[in-house]
Amino acid sequence: MVRYEEYGLIEKAVTSSNLNNPTVVDEFRYTVTSSSIAGLFTQGYMLAYYGSSVPAGWLVALNYVRDGAHVKLIVHLRWGNRLPCNKCILIITIYINSNLELTYKFKSLTYDSNQSISGIRGTIGGGAGEGLNPLDIVKFTSAYATLIRKTCTVKSNKIVVGRDARISGEMVKNVVVGTLMGMGWDVVDIDLASTPTTELAVTMEGASGGIILTASHNPKQWNALKLLNEKGEFLNAAEGQEVLRIAAAEEFDYAEVDQLGLYRQDLSYNQKHIDSVLALDLVDVEAIRKANFRVAIDCVNSVGGIILPQLLEQLGVQHVEKLYCEPTGNFQHNPEPLEKNLGDIMNLMKGGKADVAFVVDPDVDRLAMICEDGKMYGEEYTLVTVADYVLKHTPGNTVSNLSSTRALRDVTRKYGQGYYASAVGEVNVTTKMKEVGAVIGGEGNGGVIYPASHYGRDALVGIALFLSHLHTKARR
């Protein structure tokens, strides 16, 4: 937390796991009382625009300078004027990392970094406009529903809703589902499901979009709305900004009584997701079964504990050591799959009970691995190892974001193929992958994106491809 009073820094406590390897934040949201706006970083200037005029009190960042783990924001305070007030220039140096929260105390002006390119997140509880409470959930869900109604290219009145196992998940789901129905949308509730499962469900249902209720690797007090288009992919920056604009302006209308949406629950999508993984050409189910692998898993008390044991059983893995697989939402350790949080599964592996351990975050889009001796394999090498296997069988280009190591580039060049870097953020990675026709891509945080399955990070795909690769290595 970094807190400013006027121009002075009065408190500083940055909650970063590694300031020497920061995550670049791609989008910010600025809030003044009940008004808000989003701005997207570009290399030179940052756009923050609201219609033809700027509401009183908006903080608009016009430029930034990046220097290692610091970013200097150059901003103006606008008080009802279309042009910046030159007397109100404020230059702030901050740390940028994935868990950063900032508050600027300047004439009731606050900064909220919790609305990002992939969704809306916040802590549960507090007053209106604080965290992610039911009033805010209704507002942002209504704004999303309005945007999808305007922009969707498929003829469908369905929106898919899935959630991880967070304690607040049932409450948030009920609010989201009721709001969507109130906006006239038919809801397909797949309930406890991973992020990639929900993404696939959107396309399998032929739905117009989807909302995933998960705060990913954040602690249990957090939750979020992750917003999908009709392709089961995250909204792009412009669409995300439009959702924020609609929410701030409350430009939405609810359905009349005869046009209210319908509700249907469908709990078949975990199996449909597994079936899609087993059907991939490079997943060698028979070879994995014959290898008789012993596998351990840590699912941090969320939906991975439901779907990973089913996946492994259907891959033919008979011996599975399960750790924290009860989907209670009471995470037994920090849910981010970093080495410092994984002492229990690492100690289990030191006992020689398994050949490999797989660790996922609460929504199962990130994958980390532990070696048979209890040492961390490293999230960075999840994508690299899977890519090595994929490139061996299907040569082609690869993509990862700018915060990843050079290892994927080196592996790609080993096969005589092209490597491309994208801006940070899953939607940026997938956009670049489509642009260059990549056969594999992802992020250095353990996110594997395999277009033969779908354009989204998917730990199930990563596990199946890795075990197929491991069989090949073991056979030598």
Cα separation of 338 and 446, whole Å?
Answer: 10
Q: Determine which helix (DSSP H) or strand (DSSP E) holds 91, and give its type and residue range.
A: strand 89-95
Rounded Cα distance between 211 and 227, Å, is 5
Question: Which residue has 């008080």 as its token pair?
Answer: 79
How far from each other are the two terminal CA atoms of the chain, in whole angstroms?
A: 51
pLDDT in tens, 371-382: 999 999 977 889
Task: Give how far Cα 199 sits from Cα of 140, 190, 194, 476, Å.
Answer: 19, 11, 9, 37
Three-state DSSP state, 255: coil
Question: CA-to-CA distance for 339 and 437, rounded, in angstroms?
Answer: 33
Could you report the per-residue pLDDT of 13-67, keeping only the tens digit for each?
222 222 233 233 333 333 333 333 333 332 222 223 222 233 333 334 444 444 4
Going by their DSSP bridges, the two strands 438-443 and 447-449 should be labelled as antiparallel
Burial class of residue 167 in the structure, from the number of CB atoms within 10 Å of its CB (0-12 exposed, 13-18 middle, 19+ buried):
middle
Helices marked H in 132-168 — which ranges? 134-151
| pLDDT tens digits for range 77-134 | 332 322 233 333 333 333 333 233 233 322 222 223 345 456 788 889 887 777 789 9
Q: Give strand pairing partners of 447.
A: 443
Burial category of 450 from C-beta neighbours within 10 Å (exposed 0-12, middle 13-18, buried 19 and up): buried
pLDDT of residue 118: 60
> For residue 20, how far is the Cα from the chain centroid?
22
Residue 473 confidence class, pLDDT cut points 50, 70, 90: low
Q: What is the pLDDT of residues 128-178, one digit of tens each?
A: 777 789 999 999 999 999 999 999 999 999 999 999 999 999 999 999 999
CA 56 to CA 41: how far, in whole Å? 22
The length of the chain is 476
For the chain, count helices (H), then strands (E).
12, 24
Query: Do β-strands 367-370 and 356-360 pair in parallel, antiparallel, or remain unpaired?
Result: antiparallel
pLDDT in tens, 422-439: 887 888 899 999 999 999
> According to the model, what pLDDT value does residue 469 have?
95
Q: For the chain, give the mean pLDDT.
A: 79
Query: Cα separation of 392 and 334, whole Å?
Result: 36
Closest by Cα among 261, 273, 262, 244 to 48: 244
- Confidence band for 180, pLDDT divided at 50, 70 and 90: very high
3-class secondary-structure state, position 360: strand
* Contact call for residues 1 and 11 (beta carbons, < 8 A): yes
How confident is residue 241, by pLDDT bands cut at 50, 70 and 90?
A: confident
Task: Give the per-residue pLDDT at 475.
Answer: 55
For 158, residues 6+ apart whose C-beta sits below 8 A from its C-beta are 185, 186, 187, 188, 205, 206, 207, 208
User: Residue 183 and residue 430: Cα distance in Å, rounded?
Assistant: 30
